[in-house]
Chain A
Amino acid sequence: MKELSLNILDIAENSVKAGATLTEISVLETEKTLTIIINDDGCGMPEEVVRAVTNPFYTTRTTREVGLGIPFLILGAEQTGGYVKIDSRVARAEGDAHGTRVTAHYNKDHIDFTPLGDVISTVTTLIQGHPDTDFLFTHETVGGSVSLDTRTLRSVLEGVPLSTPEVLTWIRESLAEQYNSI
């Protein structure tokens, strides 16, 4: 992947596919490190699946026997001296908490660090494709933070889909303005 924001898009698609109603995407930056956390309330994965997803020859897709999403994420993090951690739980009984949290940690000073890239496009792409699920995006930097919560927008929109082009433009501009002010 040319940008970490593309890894974020790819991993967040897994959350949506897992039936998440809320997918939280957090980017936490310090002077020297960057951490991406994608936390969802989807169906979760049993332990053996959590172990298997790091293997490129494990996939849920039916068109091909290769799944490179998590392996790509691990490659990008480990090549900077960082790591990827996956925590997941499936509900054993009705009402149990369930979901998956993927954490990817990077050292920004490393020569093989991939830039974050166009994270605004990742957020708008996720919302465009999945207007009926919620996303909470936050990006904390040393200079300040950026956030977007589709639950807030949804309550304002009163049934107008989040995928409406005018709404997507508003979201894009809102994030751009926030980035410009930090």
Chain B
Amino acid sequence: MKSLAELQAIRDRMKDKVILREGANQVRVVVGMATCGIAAGARPVLNAFVEAISAEGLTDKVTVSQTGCIGICQYEPVVEIYEPGKEKTTYVKMTAEKVAAVVEKHLKGGNVVTEFTVSNME
């Protein structure tokens, strides 16, 4: 079994970083995790965001959180991205593959992937 000593090592590495992170977080990725989202595949979408943001070293800049029903169940999995000073972006019918593109183009590149947004659906 994985040892708690390993967890202690993670704790020691993260302790200073956590304080920095709490103050500096700017971008919020919010995944709808009500029954509608979960049934439509929100769990792998959420995990893809968590993993990609960590792998790309964006954890100081971006947080991932969960919310309940956003109200457009037919478009689940739905992901909202909030950036200070910008309009909210709503991505719909998300998949783990689409997450890779959103992380690369939107979170890293600063460009909304319009083909995945709700405005493209209506």
Q: Which residues of A contact B (CB under 8 A)?
A: 1, 6, 9-10, 13, 17, 61, 63-64, 67-69, 72, 118, 121-122, 124-125, 128-130, 152-153, 156-161, 164-170, 173-174, 177-178, 181
Contacts and interface: CB of A to CB of B under 8 A. Distances in A.
A166 B10 contact: yes
Interface string B11-29: 1011100100000000000
Interface in B44-99: 44, 46-47, 50-51, 53-54, 59, 64-66, 68-71, 73
A118 to B, nearest CB: 8
A68 B71 contact: no
Contact of B2 (A13, A17, A128, A173): A173
Contacts of A152: 4
A181 B2 CA distance: 12
B34 interface: yes
- Max count, chain A CB within 10 A of own CB: residue among B18, B43, B73: B43
Contact of B39 (A17, A72, A125): A72
A153 B47 contact: no
Given A125-B46, A156-B4, A61 B69 contact: yes
23 contacts: A1-B38, A6-B39, A9-B33, A67-B35, A68-B39, A69-B35, A72-B39, A121-B43, A125-B47, A128-B50, A130-B66, A153-B7, A156-B4, A156-B7, A159-B18, A160-B15, A160-B18, A165-B50, A166-B13, A167-B10, A168-B50, A170-B10, A178-B1
B71 A63 contact: yes
B14 A166 contact: yes
Nearest to B54: A165
B28 to A, nearest CB: 13
Contacts of A61: 34, 68-69
Given A164-B14, A165-B59, A170-B6, A13 B33 contact: yes
Contacts of A164: 10, 14, 18
A157 B9 CA distance: 9
